[in-house]
A and B are shown apart, each in its own frame.
Chain A
Amino acid sequence: MAIADIHVTEETHSDGHEHHDEHHGNFWTTYVFTIDHKMIGKQFLITGIAWALIGGLLSVIFRLQLGFPDMQLEWLRPILGEWITAEGKLDAEFYLALVTMHGTIMVFFVLTAGLSGTFSNFLIPLQIGARDMASGFMNMLSYWFFFASSVIMLISLFIETGPASGGWVIYPPLSALPQAVNGSGLGMTLWLAAMALFIVSSLLGGINYITTVINLRTEGMSFSRLPLTIWAFFITAVIGLLSFPVLFSAALLLIFDRSFGTSFFLSDIYIGGEALPNQGGSPILFQHLFWFLGHPEVYIVLLPALGITSEVIATNSRKPIFGYKAMVGSILFIAILSFIVWAHHMFVTGMNPFLGSIFMLLTLIIAVPSAVKVFNYLATLWKGNIRFTPAMLFSIGLVSFFISGGLTGIFLGNSAIDIQLHDTYFVVAHFHLVMGSASFFGLLAGVYHWFPKMYGRMMDAKLGYIHFWLTFVGVYMVFFPMHYIGIAGYPRRYYSFTNFDTLNNFTDLNMFVSVAAILTLGAQFIFLFNFFYSMYRGRKATTNPWQSNTLEWTTPVNPGHGNWPGKIPTVYRWPYDYSKPSAKEDFIPQTIPFSETPESNLPHENDMIKLETDSDQKVVVVDEK
């Protein structure tokens, strides 16, 4: 708080000589240990992109194994070393490590830190009209804890016993016993250390987001005038703050079990020729703790993407988002429900079946607010005047994934149907579409949309189109076939399906999926090129390239520290006044008072004019009759 306060006073005193302020920082304070929210957002973005690339490459390696089980992988030996067996095949245990690390990296490092970290940091102050985050210092710490966590997780990929390999859910006893799988040795220790740091980072960030949204909104920016992006980031931060500590406690207890001989999760185990002394623990307890974070985590990943999409779709349809209040309401409702559905991941764990009934009921309720969101997106597109910017394309793609993947959730949330589908490829298809790809598309939509604000230049639209179409079609080609494989009963995390002699007829489909996965990853290099090329050589952006209403587009093209050179603008209206009847243009930014737009005001908005008099804007008195 203190630091932000100092900045605010500095800025107000130095009106007119901001340029001096901007040049204060050296390389270290500007790019490395920065406390500027925009730079921290970019740090999260770049780190997230690096992780996405690593996570994507890992998936391609195990897709090679699944699609081409007979392939010689000797050529990977320079990178993977001993993980390629003497026969030139992928080691079966390393396969498990690959899926584990792919999941961990994508869920936490890309779609949590890379998505929330980037856009909450970058957009919250800009869209609510604040100079910076409530605590710039904590914000900096948030990034550097994440960075430390990243370093440890990265190191774990290279150690001799391999990274954690008990699945991203790290269920004990497998994750607690090094004698059960090599990855549960040092690899698991590093995983737990990295995640502990990650949780610290996430909490530091979350506290900051919440505080900033509550306290630092500019004059006139009431909660009912917040863009949906901010609503989404705000609620996401609240969910994270309530659920991450539970994962922390689970991790802590697991560390005790692993290193100090406690028996929280271990009982009656005979392994490696000896009976372990642990008794009385419950592996199910860990699952409850894990999914108490794990399920809200799905929404931590998804809600920011939905927020971004709402903003992008409204802007590019040139229409107000349909049902603003319903959108906010459904975010809130989803957030609350996300805490009381976790055990639907555990229908067949041996949990009391009565508990299963309750969680099935609660789980299926969550489909209602989700359906409302989809219908609202469709209604927003209806009768719009749609501009297909790359961001808009990715947002439409997101809605499609959200529908396709969300509907399969109705199967899995039904405990009776879940008996058969649990832990099959049907689940893999479901969550990769609804959580993985949808959120990833939200991230990309956000990058394309706010790139001009981040770097003052435009990304190349045509490359964006190519990137979108290849990725959109590619993602469906990868994940849609998995539904069939899942209905056929194929379990996930299988190194090979040769033992399924009766089922072994999906080699062609698996091959198809693998080829599609490689092509889709390949298409991301178009994005990488576009991103880095445009950063330096892209077309110079104008202040408001998408003719959008929100506050960030009232800053200079390259906003300095403090965001607005002069006074922070005052907000007079909600952010979705697009294509208002009789308005001169098809958008009215939030900073335009109703008194300046008498021609397009709705009756109740004319009444608002009287409230605008205390600001220093010119007042136009309108006679309602």
Chain B
Amino acid sequence: MFQFIVIFGVLLLLIILYTLFRISRLVSVVKGSNKKVATTSNKVNAALFMFFLFGAFGFFFWYSWTYFDDYTLPVASEHGIVTDTLFWTTMAVTGIVFLITNVLLFWFSYAYQHKEGRKASFYPDNHKIEILWTVVPALVLTGLVFTGLRAWNDITSEAQSDAEIIEIMGYQFAWGVRYPGVKDNALGEYNYQMIDAVNQFGMDLSDKNTYDDFMPIEMHIPKGKEVLLKIRARDVLHSVFLPHFRVKMDAVPGMPTHFKFTATKSTAEMRAELENPEFNYFVTCTEICGRGHFSMVMKLVVDEPADYEKWKAEQPTWLKLNPDYLAKVPEANRELAKIKSGMVEGDENNLKASL
């Protein structure tokens, strides 16, 4: 019954609208206004452009001003401060152009609306002014290009040799992180054909560097030290996105990528800044990767350097958590693997000496 009433109401509304439309047409025919070049509608449309100009700009400035803190993300990396500055510089430049051109567009529309008896000015070109408005944008853009290039070259330059190396791998639908381990501080080799349900990273256990690698469930990075992310993907494209650090780089199967950055604020500092004790940094995915694309979020913690080293030392190695895989370690290296992975106490150097 209710549905019937709704349908009936909609039908009635459409009929009324149609009737109004027919009446207005008949009126315009009677008035003969359909033969005129420009009617009152012309004035109304011209006025509406001015109305739109003020209304829209009003909304634009009001929202941009009032909600500034809501739509801007705090920045927590060194290069992020640079790119943010670039962003807001560009915003200032384009903002001025946006304002001037839109104002001219709507104001001209209003000011030069049709008037009976007036003739438009025949003004087909003016080379001086055309050269001017070609050269000026070109110069402004050159400025933006070169500041942008400088930042881009810095961001993409080689990482420092002592940078903290962390591997991050995307797969459907989560991130995995691998740390080089405290004993050798080097990431072990991998081969995608060695991946299985447990050896998610496809670590090649014939490489000694794998024995102390560990994979925590959340990512930690040190504050104030350069971090080099070694990025890869296991199945389809993903993209590592650390919004607060202005970091983004695709994870590509078969083609490792990387991104270096330095965090400037620890999680604790950011919580204090935002007055939000619940706050956490996170890693997320920005390249469409299937059903769970939206849910690829991993917690990221920025520690003070000392806390970071302590946290690292506390993490159990992967081999220690999965002792079954010792069988895949070449016979000759098993003792070393046991020691490096922390399964047995011992000194690596002594072992090497005894061998």
**Which residues of A are at the interface with B, using a C-beta cutoff of 8 A?**
92-93, 96, 166-167, 171, 173-174, 177, 180-181, 266-271, 273, 275, 279-284, 317-326, 348-350, 353, 356-357, 360-361, 364-365, 367-368, 371-372, 374-379, 381-388, 393, 396, 399-400, 403-404, 407-408, 410-411, 414-417, 419-420, 422-424, 460-463, 465, 469, 472-473, 476, 480, 484-485, 487-489, 491-497, 499-503, 505-506, 539, 547, 576, 578-581, 586
Does chain A have a CB within 8 A of B15? no
- For the complex, give the distance between the alpha carbons of A271 and B70 in Å: 39
B121 contacts across to A, CB distance below 8 A: 319, 383-384, 579
- A404/B137 contact (C-beta < 8 A), A473-B52, A579-B122 known: no
Cβ proximity bits B282-312 to A, threshold 8 Å, 1 near / 0 not: 1011111111111101000000000000000
In the complex, whether B13 has a CB less than 8 A from a CB of chain A is no
Between B21, B113, B122, B123, the greatest number of chain A beta carbons within 10 A of the residue's beta carbon is seen for: B122
A476 touches B56 (CB 8 A): yes
Judged by a CB distance under 8 angstroms, whether B2 is at the interface is no
Interfacial chain A residues near B171, Cβ < 8 Å: 270
A96-B291, A177-B236 are known; give 15 further A-B pairs, CB within 8 A. A268-B192, A283-B255, A319-B123, A353-B152, A353-B156, A360-B152, A372-B133, A403-B105, A416-B152, A417-B90, A423-B239, A423-B241, A460-B25, A465-B44, A502-B278
Q: Given the known A-B contacts A275-B193, A487-B71, A502-B280, are A399 and B105 also in contact in the complex, defined by CB atoms under 8 Å?
A: yes
A326 vs B98: C-alpha distance when bound (angstroms): 22
Given contacts A270-B235, A348-B250, A416-B86, contact A92 B112 (CB under 8 A): no
Is B237 a contact partner of A283 (Cβ separation < 8 A)? yes
Question: B353 → chain A, closest Cβ, in Å?
Answer: 39
CB-based contact B291/A92 at 8 Å: yes
**Residues of B near any A CB (own CB < 8 A):** 21, 24-25, 28, 34, 37-38, 41-42, 44-46, 48-49, 52, 56, 60, 63-64, 67, 70-73, 80, 82-83, 86-87, 90-91, 93-94, 97-98, 101-102, 104-106, 108-109, 112-115, 118-126, 129-130, 133-134, 137-138, 141, 144-145, 148-149, 151-153, 155-156, 171-172, 192-193, 195, 197, 202, 231, 234-237, 239, 241, 243, 246-250, 252-255, 257, 276, 278-280, 282, 284-295, 297
Q: Are B235 and A271 in contact (CB under 8 A)?
A: yes
Docked complex Cα distance between A267 and B234 (Å) = 10
Select A378's contact among B105, B115, B295, beta carbons within 8 Å: B105
Q: How many cross-chain pairs have Cβ atoms below 8 Å apart between A and B?
A: 336
Cβ of A534 to closest chain B Cβ, rounded Å: 11
With A174-B288, A411-B90: A539-B34 Cβ-Cβ less than 8 Å: yes
Q: A349–B133 contact, CB under 8 A?
A: no
Complex Cα–Cα for A423 and B313 (A) = 37
In the bound complex, how far is the Cα of B239 from the Cα of A560, in angstroms? 57
Among B24, B97, B119, B197, the residue within 8 A (CB) of A273 is: B197
If A171-B288, A279-B254, A368-B138 touch, whether A374 touches B101 (CB-CB below 8 Å) is yes
Contact A415 to B112, CB < 8 A, known contacts A96-B290, A371-B137: no
List chain A residues, Cβ under 8 A from B97.
403, 407
Complex alpha-carbon distance, A279 and B193, angstroms = 11
Chain B residues with Cβ under 8 A from A372's Cβ?
Answer: 130, 133-134, 137
A29 to B283, CA, bound (A): 60
Kindly state the separation between the CA atoms of A473 and B243 in the bound complex, as whole angstroms.
31
Q: Could you say which of A324, A386, A423 contacts B124, with CB atoms under 8 Å apart?
A: A324
Tell me if A322 and B125 are in contact (CB < 8 A). Answer: yes
Q: Considering the chains assembled together, what is the distance between the CA atoms of A62 and B125 in angstroms? A: 47
Residues of chain A within 8 A (CB-CB) of B41 are 388, 461-462, 465
List residues of chain B with CB within 8 A of the CB of A387.
37-38, 42, 114
What are 14 A-B contacts defined by CB distance under 8 Å? A180-B172, A279-B254, A318-B120, A361-B149, A368-B138, A374-B101, A382-B112, A383-B112, A410-B93, A414-B144, A417-B90, A487-B72, A492-B286, A576-B124
